[in-house]
Amino acid sequence: MDGARNRTLVGAAEAAAWFADLGARGASERTSAVYRNGLDSLRLCLGGRKVARLTDVGADDLEAWRGELVREKKAPGTVDVYLRAARGWLGWLEKSGLLFINPAAAMTLPKVARRLLPVPTPGQMARILAGPNPATNFGVRDRAILEAAYATGARREELVRLDATDVALEAGTLRVTGKGRKERVLPLTKAAVRWLGRYTQHTRPKLLKGKLDEPALWIDLHGGRLASPALDAVVKKCARKARLRRITVHTLRRACATHLLQNGAHPFFVKELLGHATMKHLAHYLRLSIADVKAMHRQSRLGR
């Protein structure tokens, strides 16, 4: 949407305030971007319906917007996220005293059939982890990144924000700062400890290029903090070398959770490891594990 036009639509200042609050509470850039698209779509619809004030927004306006999304053939997942963004924003406005009545209070969200996203097998993960060249400084760094990501299931943003002081090799732990600025201390595998030790003690000082005041754990080509796109590139490069497609940092997080559950880890432990607020966020990983068990059962019956 055109920026100038967006500012003339209803709720510009209120939307900006909500996004500022989301950022302060630790929302990721990706989440904010998707929610922003949703609110832009809603506000454009309200503008077309001549709604000039937020206090004039009614449940009928929201239903008209929902209809527009369907007619535009938005994917069910996109519609779901957009509606959640609207409900979150309008609910926040009510709590902030900017709305007396929340028009989204009774809005129902569609039940979206979430497909099971593929997860690399342990063997495929071994190929990804073996991708970096350990004879080079950046190869050692990249191997340490992959091992830390797979061992902890840390989010992309959590990995990028890591400082060198967040690593405790003797304790075998990594401290990450997640959503809402909440800290978690996560256990590392022996392989992750080994590669992080090699990286922090021998490789990182070389990559700093004399910038001894740089706190970041992962160092880039210029001696500064590794950015999110560069982290994505590391994972993509190693996945491509392993002849695997559509592998991201989040894929490593899913692999960590799924493999732990498949090997008998308690779901509550996995929930705490991933930093989820409730067990419902673990449903996808549990579904994967159940699907895996069913597949094994079918194979065993075919083999009789």
Task: Compute the radius of gyration of the chain from its Cα atoms.
Answer: 23
Active site (annotated) includes residue 82: no
Active site (annotated) includes residue 276: yes
Which one is catalytic: 155, 156, 254, 271?
155
Active site (annotated) includes residue 179: yes
Active site (annotated) includes residue 181: no
The DSSP symbol for 136 reads S
Which one is catalytic: 74, 179, 198, 241?
179
From CA 259, how far away is CA 289, in angstroms rounded?
A: 8
* DSSP β-ladder status, 183-187 and 167-168: unpaired
Q: Which of 271, 260, 298, 280 is nearest to 119 (CA)?
A: 260
Taken in order 35, 253, 177, 211, the sign of the CA dihedral is negative
Active site (annotated) includes residue 253: yes
Q: What token pair was written down for 255? A: 């692999």
Q: What token pair was written down for 37? A: 């698209």
Active site (annotated) includes residue 304: no
CA atoms in the 13 A half-sphere facing the CB of 295: 7
The DSSP symbol for 216 reads B
Which one is catalytic: 35, 82, 150, 285?
285
Secondary structure of residue 130 in the 3-state scheme: coil
**Amino acid occupying residue 275:** G
E strand or H helix that includes residue 185: strand 183-187
Residue 267 · residue 282 · CB < 8 Å: yes
Which one is catalytic: 175, 194, 276, 284?
276
| Dihedral over alpha carbons 70, 71, 75, 81 (to 10 degrees) | -50
Residue 137 · residue 144 · CB < 8 Å: no
From CA 61, how far away is CA 75, in angstroms rounded?
A: 21
Which one is catalytic: 74, 194, 241, 250?
250
Which one is catalytic: 43, 253, 259, 271?
253
From CA 236, how far away is CA 253, in angstroms rounded?
A: 14
Catalytic residue annotation = 155, 179, 250, 253, 276, 285
